């Protein structure tokens, strides 16, 4: 992998900025190049788009306390288990 290549782990870290169109131009090029080569990441980005589209209509008040606590625990668990 060339130094300018984006890894799958980096792509996951940048996906929100990518979808928000907030990546600097050079990073966006690296992101797009990776997506051209990686079916798994292409699927991941599409799943994120769908998730954001569906949950974009969800309000905090729509969640039960139990569901809210489960989501917070899941995000904390993901963060704690992430490399680096």
CATH number at residue 63: 1.10.10
Task: Indicate whether 49 belongs to any domain.
Answer: yes
Residue 40 placed within a domain: yes
- Whole-number pLDDT of residue 82: 58
Q: Is the pTM of this model over 0.75?
A: no
Judge whether 51 lies within some domain.
yes
82 to 8, 18, 62, 77, 78: CA distances (angstroms): 13, 20, 29, 9, 6
| Domain extent at residue 15 | 8-81
| 68 lies in some domain | yes
Task: Give the chain's residues under pLDDT 70.
Answer: 1-4, 78-84
Kindly state whether residue 2 falls inside one of the protein's structural domains. no
Is the CB of residue 6 less than 8 Å from the CB of residue 33? Answer: yes
> Rounded distance, CA 43 to CA 82, Å?
20
Crossing angle of helices 39-55 and 25-37, rounded to 10°: 110
- In this predicted structure, what is the pLDDT of residue 29? 95
In a domain, 72, yes or no: yes
Looking at the structure of the chain, the number of domains it has is 1
Strand, helix or coil at 27?
helix
Residues 24-44 pLDDT 10s: 999 999 999 999 999 999 999
């Amino acid at each position: 992998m060339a130094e300018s290549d984006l890894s799958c782990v980096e792509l996951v870290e940048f996906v929100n900025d990518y979808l928000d169109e907030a990546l600097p131009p050079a990073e966006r090029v690296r992101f797009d190049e990776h997506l051209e080569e990686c079916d798994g990441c292409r699927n991941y980005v599409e799943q994120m788009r769908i998730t954001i589209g569906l949950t974009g209509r969800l309000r905090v008040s729509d969640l039960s306390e139990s569901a809210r606590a489960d989501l917070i625990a899941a995000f904390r668990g993901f963060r704690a288990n992430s490399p680096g």
